[in-house]
Structure 1
Amino acid sequence: MMSKQICVPDIGEDAVDVIEVLVSEGESISVDQSLLTLESEKASMDVPAEAAGTITKLLVKVGDQVRTGDVIAEIDEAGSNAKENKPAQDAADKPAAKSASGGQSHDLVIPDIGEDAVDVIEINVSVGDQVEAEQGLITLESEKASMDVPAPQAGEIIELSVKVGDKVSSGDVIGKIKGAASADAQAQAPAKQSTKPTQSESTQQAQPAPSKPETPQPAQAKAQKVDEQAFSKAHASPSVRRFARELGADLGAIKGSGRKGRIVEQDVKDFIKQALAGGGAKVAQGSGIPAIPAVDFAKFGEVEEQKLSRINVLTGEAMTRCWLNIPHVTQHDLADITDLEAFRKALKSEAEKKGVRVTMLAFLMKALAKALQELPRFNASLSPDKQSLIMKKYIHLGIAVDTPNGLVVPVVRDVDKKGIYELSEDLMAMSKKARDGKLSPSDMQGASMTISSLGGIGGTYFTPIVNAPEVAILGVSRSTMQPVWNGKEFEPRLMLPLSLSYDHRVIDGALAARMTVLLGQLLSDMKRSLL
């Protein structure tokens, strides 16, 4: 029997949820067949089989979280009697499993963070601390976001080799953790156990049963600062920690409703609602926004409730964060694309021979790439302390794509180095991947700026929301024939509406006007973008 392990590919995230298992043990599978579906904050994706064979062991279930490189299944490539040999194999594996969990030390390694190097901005534990699996150990901050590095297992921190201000990269070792012995090992070696209760046992003995949440005392209710020690030890994922920090919620005061007491995003929302209703919860100053009162619509007539897709919910939350944190201004303009549209149509037969369809969006991308080179402030992001700009030397463009599950924004890379046919090919591939739900998180990271095109649907102008940490977004509506004065007479010209929203902390009105004028010039005379 030739056994092969199936691992999670590079998903560009610390940990993502398993939302669906598509196969079962004993099932025969083919190469590239989807085994399970993962879902992150940005998209859902399938994990394909790397080889054909028979599933002999499934190591994950719905609700688990997995990371890049985790083993999720084992297959028998020869398809032989794997089930008959399974008990013997399990028996052979058990002693090794016990010894592996018997208090050995393991390196604490930075997971795939999708960056060359990021800053350590916070150390949440110290040597000697007892931590739980997935508890945040250190907090990293890149130009895109802050993130926690979770503990890979429960145990004791026996070594830490980083400090605030250090830079770390994927794969760096930041310390060591000594795992607790397994339950079987403890049962077999009672003589080695201390008569003193462990830290967790003594904590459980000292605390009353959590039947009701404690009512905060007046002094607690007035406290506005988050308890950082309790925050760091709370059982929550990095994304939930980031969400709580943005809202000013104290994770240490929230009771988790998730698996094994994990704090989920809904717990944070409920906590904030309680605080706004006067429940005494601890929330940082300035974070409270009055909630919209609930309405019983059924009393007005028949209603039907339809669940939002996860992408809808996450996109809504992200847009709310961007809208609340960025002072938006939108600049509107028109671009004459009469000659460009004629040129695009002339390329149709040649494009068909190359197997691509050239759309106006490819020319927009090329024009915007040239404009970013001439006005580099648009290709920047604010530093975490908001005191400087991070200027980007690359030009990657996010393209908003409407899918059955909601809006996603895949990124086309190195737009300035590609021609129209190559960009058209990239757009076709990315759009198909988005509609099929095959985008990975890394496919949606690193954009310099985003284009949101509604030209295929209609409309004149709109006010797109900046996709932080980008500082601008270009909205495009449907082009129409309009009378334009040429100095002697009105003539019909095809005019394209542009809507440029920008972060007023970085871009002022004069620079925004220069951008829309420059885009108009580039689109009316596409040769300029090739110079």
Structure 2
Amino acid sequence: MTVETFKLPDVGEGVAEGELVRWLVEVGEEIEEDQPLAEVETDKALVDLPSPFAGTVTELHAEEGEMVPVGAGLVSVDVGGDEDEGAAESKSDPETTATDAAADDGSEAAAGRVFASPSTRRLARELGVDLAGVAGSGPSGRVTDADVRAAVEGTDQPTPRSPDESATSVVTERDATADAESHRESADVVTTAAEAAGRMGSADRERTLAAPATRRLADELGVDLDAVPTDERRDGEAFVTPAMVREFAERGGEAEPEAEAEAASPPAEAAPPTDDGPRPGDRIPYRGVRRAIGEQMEQAKYTAPHVTHTDEVDVTRLVETKAELESYAEAEGVSLTYLPFVMRAVTRALREFPQVNASLDEAAEEIVCHDDYNLGVATATDAGLMVPVVEDVDRKGLLDLAAETAGKVERARDRSISREEMQGGTFTITNVGVIGGEYATPIVNHPEVAILALGRVAERPRVVDGEVVPRHTLPLSLSVDHRVVDGAVAARFTNRVMELLRSPARLLVD
């Protein structure tokens, strides 16, 4: 018997430890090379760790919820015989395994192996595709999700995908050929185990969107997400929340009769939580992504002296323009919101006020005015606030911005976004209006020097030509680093943004 110990690899620059969130294997289980072993959360992201070898799991060296240092033993596997020493070193080397653990990392260190991210390998197992026979269309021959789907469909070219379909939380197609289905059932260890334990309900949908926390809850309760009734939609697909999963489980996997739904609803005081968040009396570990967010906020608040300027803009014409463009955008497969209009207006204003698109180099004692326009979009996730960055906003059209922003926001919520996609921002926008807010005092995303909070677009009374009339307005809150941006500059910058939003036609042309 030859036992190899897989050590926690360095899954990101500067990461010293990770929290073992969930084991995906158990002692005695036969595993395949590249099969995900565990979910590990660092202060950068949540990643699946693939096994560098095949064999039988003999020991798990950590408990779920435990913090594991990089380089510490994680799991031992009986590989079933003597192995070439050099090959063994290569497979157990953290630098080698880190490549597959960090999704979207283009570098590959192990020669002779199929290049693919963990999410792509998972998709291949679900569809019964042997990656060794798939030609990769990605950088350096890397196999992509589109390559796997093309292999199932028997086509030569990858199938184009919409921006949001790269999120790993999306349940992949189940209407593949019967041959692919039979292969998938024999190869997908996770699905087989779930079926053996007995899933509640039967798959009524082909695809279901849900946050990772919701999927974990469904696994714990033995619920098939595709059978959970839902009226909510995300990007045209069914979306399931933790509350829906709990209700479905409490009914024993039975769909609630429509006629009895209202009568069977629990009273308001007994209603289940609307999310999978903390409950009264819980003690929540302050670590991982949440601690990283807190430390970043603390640094920003105590490093930069903040001042916030507020105003309100009449966006009645913007509301009309958006309504006129929605059908055109929908025909192009894009869901149009107000955000891309604001992004274009902000970029135009940043060109005129470069000190707002800046950072302070304290070591060199210089204010750096950036010539790139990379806008961060603050996004609420189940792990806390994340800020995916849309690069080169000044070079992109309205629909391109809408599609790219939606895709990155969805990947942030599903925790499948790469660390690189959240770096390099020069200005940040946060939308408090989506939850009903109007004004805020947002914290600057250090080392940037400004952040703009959007309130709720709504009809409010305004005086026009001496008469009080209803007009659609948008509250704005601009926080700045007062070391770099004076209050007068903040006001003039906001005025310019407002001027552009009042005349949205100007945002449709370069």
Q: Normalised by the size of structure 2, how large is the TM-score?
A: 0.53
Give the C-alpha shift of residue 10 in structure 1.
Answer: 10
1:482 deviates by: 2.2
Structure 1 residues 65 and 371 mapped into 2: Cα distance closer, same or farther (>3 Å)? farther
Judge conservation of contact 1:397–1:448 (CA < 8 Å) in 2. yes
- Give 1:405 deviation, angstroms: 2.0
Match of 1:306 among 283, 298, 301: 283
Paired residues for 1:480-519 under 5 Å = 480-519=458-497
CA contact (8 A) 1:383 1:390 kept: yes
Partner SS for 2:311: strand
Q: 2:7 touches 2:70 (CA, 8 Å); kept in 1? A: no
- The aligned residue for residue 93 of structure 1 is 85
In the alignment, is the contact (CA less than 8 A) between 1:366 and 1:415 conserved in 2?
Answer: yes
Partner of 1:472: 450
Partner of 1:380: 358
Does the 8 Å CA contact 1:18/1:36 hold for their aligned counterparts?
A: no
Is residue 2:45 matched to residue 1:43?
Answer: yes
Question: Which amino acid is 1:334 matched to?
Answer: E
**What is the CA-CA distance between 1:381 and the residue it aligns to?**
0.6
Is the 8 Å Cα contact of residues 454 and 475 (structure 2) preserved in structure 1? yes
Deviation at 1:45, TM superposition (A): 3.0
Correspondence for 2:13: 13
DSSP-derived class of the 1:381 partner: strand
Q: Aligned in 2, Cα 1:10/1:524: closer, same or farther, shift over 3 Å?
A: farther
| Amino acid in the other structure paired with 1:342 | E
Picking from 441, 444, 452, the partner of 2:419 is 441
| Alpha-carbon separation, structure 1, partners of 2:38 and 2:333 | 32
400 and 72 in structure 1: CA distance in 2 versus 1, 3 angstrom threshold:
same
- 2:24 counterpart residue number: 22
Aligned partner of 2:80 among 84, 90, 100: 84
- Paired position in structure 1 for 2:372: 394
Quick check: 1:520 aligned with 2:498?
A: yes
Deviation at 1:40, TM superposition (A): 3.2
The unaligned stretches of length 5 or more in structure 1 are 1-5, 76-81, 102-111, 113-301
C-alpha distance in 1, partners of 2:338/2:68? 43
C-alpha spacing 1:324/1:8, structure 2 compared with 1 (3 Å): same
Matches within 5 A, 1:169-248: none
Deviation at 1:340, TM superposition (A): 0.9
Letter of the structure 2 residue corresponding to residue 399 of structure 1: V
Q: What SS does the aligned partner of 1:513 have? A: helix
Corresponding residue for residue 337 of structure 1: 315
Asked if 2 retains the 8 angstrom alpha-carbon contact of 1:380 and 1:389, the reply is yes
Deviation at 1:308, TM superposition (A): 4.8
Task: State how far apart, in whole Å, the 2-side matches of 1:29 and 1:419 are.
Answer: 45
Residue 320 (1) aligns with residue 294 (2): no
Q: How far apart in 2 are the matches of 1:10 and 1:341?
A: 48
Shift of 1:73: 9.9
Q: Whose strand fraction is larger, Structure 1's or Structure 2's? A: 1
Q: For the Cα contact (< 8 Å) 2:55–2:79, is it kept in 1?
A: no
The separation in 1 between residues aligned to 2:351 and 2:358, in whole angstroms, is 11
Moved more, 473-482 or 380-389: 380-389
Greater share of helix: 2
CA pair 506-333 structure 1, distance change in 2 beyond 3 A: same
Contact 2:388 2:412 in 1 (8 A): yes
* Distance of 1:464 and 1:65 partners within structure 2: 34
Percent identity (aligned) = 37
What is the deviation of 1:17? 2.9
Matched with 2:137 is none
2:345 is the counterpart of 1:367? yes
The 1:450/1:95 distance shift into structure 2, 3 A limit, reads closer
Equivalent residues of 1:16, 1:39 under 8 A apart: no
1:255 maps to which residue?
A: none
On the 8 A contact 1:44/1:439 being kept in 2, the answer is no
Could you tell me which runs of 5 or more consecutive residues in structure 2 were left unpaired when the two chains were aligned. Answer: 1-5, 94-101, 103-278
| Separation (CA, whole Å) in 2 of partners of 1:363 and 1:58 | 56
- How many residue pairs end up in the alignment? 309
User: Is the CA contact (8 Å cut-off) linking 1:449 and 1:473 kept in structure 2?
Assistant: yes
Coordinate RMSD, CA, aligned: 3.8
Is the Cα–Cα contact under 8 Å of residues 290 and 383 in structure 2 kept in the other structure? Answer: yes
Aligned to 1:409: 387
